[in-house]
Amino acid sequence: NPMNPYAITNGTRFGINAAIETLGLRKIKNKMLDITNSARANPRI
């Protein structure tokens, strides 16, 4: 039954968790890119 409120709640919770995870991963990726770019700009000899 697609109108099962329990299924809808679980789907919403899964969607929210997936969105939070994606945002978190994007932040981590951006931070890693920042570190890489600054390392390239300031090479440690």
Looking at the chain, the number of H-run helices and the number of E-run strands are 1, 0
Residue 18: its pLDDT value, please?
92
More confident residue, 29 or 4: 29
State the first-to-last Cα distance of the chain, in angstroms, to the nearest integer.
Answer: 64
What pLDDT, in 10s, does the model give residues 5-41? Answer: 777 788 888 889 999 999 999 999 999 999 888 888 8
Q: Which residues of 4-33 are buried (b: 16+ CB within 10 A; e: fewer)?
A: eeeeeeeeeeeeeeeeeeeeeeeeeeeeee
Task: Report yes or no on whether pTM surpasses 0.75.
Answer: no
Q: pLDDT higher for 17 or 45?
A: 17
